[in-house]
Amino acid sequence: MKTAQQNNGTPTPKEDSGVDVSYLDMDMLRFTTAGSVDDGKSTLIGRLLYDSKSIFEDQWDALESTTKNRGEEKVNLALLTDGLRAEREQGITIDVAYRYFATPKRKFIIADTPGHEQYTRNMVTGASTADLAIILIDARKGVLTQSRRHAFLSSLLQIPHLVVAVNKMDLVDYSEDRFSEIINDFKEFSENLDVDDITFIPISALKGDNIVNSSNNMSWYKGATLLHHLENVKVGSRKNPHDFRFPVQYVIRPDQDYRGFAGRVVSGNIRVGEKVSVLPSGEQSRIRSIETVDGSAEIARTGESVVLEVENEIDISRGDMIVRENNVPNCKSTFEATVSWMNKEPLQAGRPYVVMHTSRTTQALVKEVRYRINVDSLHREETAELQLNEIGRVVVETAHPLFFDAYKLNNDTGSFILVDPDTHVTVGAGMIRSTSTSALKDDPSSRNIVWEPWNIDREVREQRNGHEARIIWFTGVSGAGKTTIARALERELWERGLRTMLLDGDQVRHGLNSDLGFEPSDRKENIRRVGEVARLFYEHGNIVLCSFVSPYREDRRVVREMFPSDRYLEVCVLCDPEILQERDPKGLYLKAKQGTLKSLTGFDAGHEAPTENDAIFIDTGNTEVEQAVVTILDKLNLK
């Protein structure tokens, strides 16, 4: 159990400890433990560390000594995480204690968070970056208010995986009936939680049942042990890999020839040469260089701290945000948010606070407290204020606009904290409510329409589908072969087991857009409607193939900006005019020659080809359909 030390005194895993010393290249799971007081959270973590052979010799010696001083016969594993003197005296967890360990499969960071209601705010701190939450429930007590509170907070914080660990099964004679009863109670409560993955495991942290090794006392349980589940659960789903967001933290000016912008890529990635916009000014430029701690790089990825240099001389300061040109967040000074209140002084409408959001700090006012949430029933209750540890929906107005996404889409840009301007104490943690990235415009026809969030998020659907949602937009003149290639591509994707939707110009104009003609204004409206329909299918996790003449760049640009740039692919299908008129599959060119059809794109009306660097051009005069499909699939690089 104990491990050796090097001569310099630095603890290192023993060769036979079961810890792979090459773990630095493995992925990492951040998880938090929570539950009611005395449910056994600290004991559980101590047991995980002990049974996975992750306790070092000096730690074990200190543990034995402390246990002996307390007059206890058996080593108390909970003392590994109850590090504060006040915690050891009371036998409870007050602060958030972090522990690190690794197995041959994965690295782990554990946040042991408080169970007492008084310290719920610390649970929010510990869970804010977690990929998984373990909710401990005492098998004797069942599902308590604090259990519900912590599960609800985990849901609000968009932690993708929950493990309900029913602890102290040894004190209920390892009863399967009691375990089933607790499962049913929790499932009834969790039906209204926004959590898609909940796993139930019966354990005894004190005895070690189903922690690392399967329990002989619960042969009726056929599921995985806790450690096995932690080693194999999918990680990284909290990060947004698509929407590039770079809050500027510092401007670096070592000399008059260099001006760089330092910060951390909170989501997405960016390459040298890509177009970017700077908020709030809206100025546009390109990335000239990317500097990392290891030198120059061609790409900056999520989580990396880098220095970006842009080509133009633009006024950029701390608190500004660099984003992709066609993929920008909301830029607003008024928004709705769910707030977990952390201060003894209640949150009251009209009182000024300071908002800290990414690298931006500004004064703010809570304009309205709309309701609080009853954590037992999850019902809304009318109130004019939020008391300590209460959770509610509020409307916040800031002195300067914030650049944010909905918390569901981006944890980093969708979260903020409220600070008391007089005491400088953090008083609340906020999560900006779900909003559409193509929000309703502020016009008279939409002011009384409230955006309804998606029932099941696209990211969840993508996980189930096993692939990302995409938009593939085919443009080109009539007869070039857009629909032929799109149909062949859809068939190939379908054969691979992917979820698809094909939208074709002729089909749409026979139904949804049958009221539109072919004047420029009608063509514009045709593409606008198609873009909105495509977005609906995209948000449901599909690969959407759109085949439309769509001759105008501006109309296609409007559609392109509805989606993340790395999820949208434009395919321009070309062909020699003589071949087009020879093919003439619908007889349109013949009608145009006879003068019975006016403004036919490709004959007497022009088509504006894409100018974007990432567009694909396919000439069907010398490219077979099969080769076109292969070219598009290579470009898609579906994940």
Active-site residues, by number, are 550
Selection from 427, 430, 360 nearest residue 394 by Cα: 430
- Spatial contact of 202 and 214, defined as CB atoms under 8 Å apart: no
- Spatial contact of 315 and 281, defined as CB atoms under 8 Å apart: yes
Q: How far apart are the first and last CA of the chain?
A: 42
CB < 8 Å & 24+ apart, contacts of 229-236: 229/163, 229/199, 229/201, 230/29, 230/31, 230/106, 230/108, 230/132, 231/103, 231/105, 231/106, 232/105, 233/29, 233/131, 233/132, 233/161, 234/161, 234/463, 235/27, 235/28, 235/29, 235/131, 236/27, 236/131
Q: Whole-angstrom Cα distance, residue 565 to residue 562?
A: 9
Q: Provide the token pair at 446.
A: 């939409």
SS (H, E, C) 201-221: EECECCCCECCCECCCCCCCC
Burial class of residue 140 in the structure, from the number of CB atoms within 10 Å of its CB (0-12 exposed, 13-18 middle, 19+ buried): exposed
- Spatial contact of 337 and 416, defined as CB atoms under 8 Å apart: yes
CA 223 and chain centroid, separation: 28
Phi/psi of residue 296, nearest 5 degrees:
-70, 150
Instruction: Enumerate residues 6+ apart whose C-beta is below 8 A from 227.
Output: 48, 51, 52, 103, 211, 212
Q: Could you tell me the CA-to-CA distances from 280 to 247, 272, 321, 328, 562 in Å, in that order?
A: 11, 22, 7, 11, 20
- Spatial contact of 288 and 309, defined as CB atoms under 8 Å apart: yes
Burial class of residue 617 in the structure, from the number of CB atoms within 10 Å of its CB (0-12 exposed, 13-18 middle, 19+ buried): middle
Q: Provide the token pair at 127.
A: 């869970």
CA 179 and chain centroid, separation: 32
Residue type, 514: S
User: Beta-carbon neighbour count of residue 438 at 10 Å?
Assistant: 14
Q: Residue 285: in which H helix or E strand, if any?
A: strand 283-292
